[in-house]
Structure 1
Amino acid sequence: MADHKLRIVAIISVKQESREQLLTVFKTLVEETRKEEGNISYVLTNDVSDQNTFVFVEEWRSQEDINKHMASAHFVAFQGQIKDHLTGAPQVKILNQVF
């Protein structure tokens, strides 16, 4: 049977002056999300050429689990905490494995 797990890549660029403050916010999101049923992997990475660009690399069991995550209290709080600190809209790609 095919692997139906979904992956997400979310790129977030933050204002230089907000970077340190947001590290705590990011850490809380990662810790809480890893506890969610349906989350397989949730990793925050940093662009080596731009310290203010962060990339979430996620793996989920299903779209339903992603939907629950996006409605979770910790994700909604995260969105509110970062909104004034971004340099642009986050780029989010939901990916389905081909091979």
Structure 2
Amino acid sequence: MSGTQIHVITLAEALPEHFPEVLETLSALANLCRQEEGCIRFDVYVDSTQPYQLNTIETWRNREDHQRHLDSAHVARGVLSLIGKMKGLPHIRILRPISELSE
């Protein structure tokens, strides 16, 4: 199992008419994700200048834990419940420290 933490930033935009429901879904999902093995951080933010823009910032112990998270039933349910309530697809960035570039 890889010992390098990974950081994930997800950018998404809720449709205005579904914004309260999207917030509720993401809040519930965040609470479940925080309980997962290997989850160090999972926070949901609203952009202060674009109120329907949502961001998650996550830190996982390693890639394997993050993949297990992506494969979980609660993530699948959450994603399915957001269909038709979001503007386009989310933009997901998986980041690694620059110290890994020399390895």
TM class by shorter chain equals: over 0.9
Counterpart position of 1:70 = 70
* 1:1-99 equivalences in 2 (<5 Å): 4-98=4-98
Shift of 1:13: 0.4
Shift of 1:18: 0.4
Which whole-Å CA distance do the structure 2 matches of 1:88 and 1:67 have between them?
Answer: 23
The normalised TM-score by structure 1 is: 0.93
The percentage of counterpart residues that share the same residue type is 23
Which amino acid letter does the alignment assign opposite residue 73 of structure 1? A
SS of corresponding position for 2:10: strand
Shift of 1:4: 1.4
Work out the number of aligned pairs and report it: 97
Which whole-Å CA distance do the structure 2 matches of 1:97 and 1:46 have between them?
Answer: 25
- Kindly provide the CA deviation profile for residues 18-54 of structure 1, in whole angstroms up to 9, marking residues without a partner as x: 0011111011100000000000000101111111010
SS of corresponding position for 2:98: coil
Moved over 6 A (4+): none
Structure 1 unmatched runs, 5+: none
Structure 2 unmatched runs, 5+: none
CA RMSD of the aligned region, Å? Answer: 1.1
Which whole-Å CA distance do the structure 2 matches of 1:78 and 1:43 have between them?
Answer: 15
Which whole-Å CA distance do the structure 1 matches of 2:60 and 2:47 have between them?
Answer: 22
Which whole-Å CA distance do the structure 2 matches of 1:10 and 1:51 have between them?
Answer: 16
Which whole-Å CA distance do the structure 1 matches of 2:87 and 2:22 have between them?
Answer: 13
